[in-house]
Structure 1
Amino acid sequence: MNINEKDKILKEAIVETIAFFDMFNFPLTETEILKYIKIKSDYLEVRKELMNLIRDKVVCSSEGLYFLVGADLNIEARKENYNHSDRKFKLALKVSKYFLIIPWIKLICVANNIGTDNLKNSGDIDLFIVSKPKKIWLTRLFVVLIAKIMNVRPQKNNKTDKICLSFFISEDSLDLSELRQGGEADKYFEYWLLGLNPIYSKDNTFEMLFKANRKIIDNFPNYYEQKISSKRKMNKQISGFYELNWELFFGKLESLVKNIQIKIMPAELKSIASQGVGVILGDNVIKLHLNDKREEFRKKYNEKISKIKN
């Protein structure tokens, strides 16, 4: 590949990355652009192409952030969402510490955070939870019960700062590549994975999750795992005796608990589950995204890129 070809590919990768995050009102720093582009590069090369894009009036820059022409308001949106995110992380930690009563939880992440600290004020707080093998439905049962007791479950007309419990996987199914919609064309899922923020990780489960998904993460050759503040993490050791008692009382009820939960689920959820996209009711994956917007995001993104190129 000659220099001109590489410059062209790098420029396209930068535009595609900025355009994707523009859908979520999130302008990017140079560091973030380098981190999220799908081509091996360095700061100097990225900065050079950013200057060219500014010259060509494709991209603008202000306060160290880069965004598409006409998207200036996204700067204030990013600042506002940073403050909202801080509040929501504190709430997630407050609620999740009670979830750790359940000994089968191996990982809790704040999810759907496309862009660093980009949680909107009116939204709920999505958690992604990993359980021990053959304990996924038991884990969901007790997590939902605790959330209901604490009155933090989202309601139809009240989702702000509520806890959304719609994605569970088992520790023996950490490879999420099969959950992509359309393979590598599923940009949203890739950035969703990179945006997971662990607030509790037992036995290095978060590191194991990333290792299991190297085929996705390797698409981002400049990516590095962001260091999470200790203020946004929980550490709790559960004794073997405590876990044994839970196992004795509830350990054999996984199949029964699964059948009961599926039976009382809304018919619409069970109907969509047969399509295997937004809703999955399996032994290793529980995904309850009734309104899976990935196809909508894909169309919006393609339209945005087409408009830029024309």
Structure 2
Amino acid sequence: MSIYLDKGATYCRIVSSLLRNECTESVIINVNDAKENILATLAYFDIFKYPLTAGEIYLFLKNKYEQHDFDYALKSLVAGRTVYQFNNFYTLKNDYALIARRYNGNKKAAELIKVAAKVGDMLIRFPYVRGIAISGSLSKNYADENSDIDLFIITAKNRLWIARTLMHTLKKLTFLVNKQDYFCMNYYIDEAQLEIKEKTIYTAIEVVTLIPLQGDTIIEQFYAANSWTRNYLPNKIMRISSAKPLKPSLFKILFEKLLNNRFGNAIDDMLMRVTANRWAKKTEQKKVNSKGSVMAMDVGKHYAKPDPGNFQARLLAQYESKISQILVEPQNLLAN
């Protein structure tokens, strides 16, 4: 049995069986470091107005801690009113509306994830598509009335641009029936480049929160190629692929056989150039998307990813600013 006492910045564990005080510098450091990590984690999700449970906070910490150190650090932050607790949720803001927002968002997400699964069943039939996963806010189990179904697509090697063009032909047709928000195929990679090159807290969280839908084998390979995420999120285990196994149709097999040659290589290269030029013009002309951000896309032979208004750079800058504001106040790290 252990009892915890706290005096200012000190953290003492008194072990009754030893009948003496034991207060070590390493314990103090562990708890204060845990507090910093808890605040940094909450700061990231605060950008999205998304409160977390204690279990979720622990999963997204950048370091590993003993459970008792983590529990004490979190309780200490709540006691000092640096962190606010509402039911099972924790947030940096004393605002219950955030909790209600999450409840509603989780409920809406559960409904939309079912729709996404059906969309995945359709899209996996396209030639050269090898894997599909839910990304974006929906992969964090949040959605509202304005949410899209963002999808992460893995294609066959050197056929990303053929696959993308075919899929976006369908996307254009969805506008006719006002279902375009269900088909936001945003981020593409192919089998030749499964590792995400940009390694930040943002990309790490995006990778580990993907919800696999289709292509169990390639999703497992993708996870293996991105084990670097453990450097940012050592407590978060990527989902054991819940994706369905790939079962190519006869049409898909015949179509791919037709273009698995130099002619197919040339078409893929041509489609990449055409798409890159078209998006470069959109960015140059400062065309905006439905959310008001300037449209932009980062293009390569083995990947295609959107970057509206330099979203990732702006988010990381906002994150660093929030952390600086929180940790600059010494009382945030002192126990109460």
Place the TM-score, normalised by the shorter chain, in its bin: 0.7 to 0.9
Give the C-alpha shift of residue 304 in structure 1. Answer: 2.1
When Rg is computed on C-alpha atoms for both structures, the one with the higher figure is 2
8 Å contact 1:126–1:165 — kept in the other structure?
Answer: yes
Deviations 1:74-130 (A, max 9, x none): 111111111221222222222222212224212111111387302332122211101
- Gapped regions of structure 1 (runs ≥ 5): 181-185, 273-277
Which of 237, 257, 268 is matched with 1:254 structurally? 268
Which of 216, 223, 226 is matched with 1:210 structurally? 223
For residues 269 and 128 of structure 1, do their structure 2 counterparts lie closer, same or farther at Cα, with a shift above 3 Å needed?
farther
Aligned-pair RMSD on alpha carbons?
A: 2.7
Amino acid at match of 1:292: N
Give the C-alpha shift of residue 137 in structure 1. Answer: 0.3
Aligned residues: 290
Aligned to 2:22: none
Amino acid at match of 2:258: F
Where 2:136 maps in the other structure, the secondary structure is coil
What TM-score do the two structures reach when normalised by structure 1?
0.83
Aligned to 1:196: 210
Give the C-alpha shift of residue 211 in structure 1. Answer: 1.2
- Consecutive aligned runs of 4 or more in structure 1 exceeding 6 Å deviation: none
Which of 167, 171, 195 is matched with 1:175 structurally? 195
Give the C-alpha shift of residue 226 in structure 1. Answer: 4.2
1:118 equivalent to 2:138? Answer no
For residues 270 and 76 of structure 1, do their structure 2 counterparts lie closer, same or farther at Cα, with a shift above 3 Å needed?
same
Q: Aligned partners of 1:44, 1:227: CA distance in 2, in Å?
A: 28
Q: Aligned partners of 2:138, 2:82: CA distance in 1, in Å?
A: 22
Amino acid at match of 2:97: L
1:140 equivalent to 2:168? Answer no
What TM-score do the two structures reach when normalised by structure 2?
0.77
Q: Aligned partners of 1:153, 1:282: CA distance in 2, in Å?
A: 32
Which of 229, 254, 264 is matched with 1:245 structurally? 254
Give the C-alpha shift of residue 35 in structure 1. Answer: 0.7
Q: Aligned partners of 1:86, 1:64: CA distance in 2, in Å?
A: 19
Where 2:140 maps in the other structure, the secondary structure is coil
Q: Aligned partners of 1:264, 1:16: CA distance in 2, in Å?
A: 39
Q: Aligned partners of 2:63, 2:51: CA distance in 1, in Å?
A: 20
8 Å contact 2:188–2:305 — kept in the other structure?
Answer: yes
For residues 259 and 295 of structure 1, do their structure 2 counterparts lie closer, same or farther at Cα, with a shift above 3 Å needed?
closer
Deviations 1:113-154 (A, max 9, x none): 387302332122211101010110011011111222233899
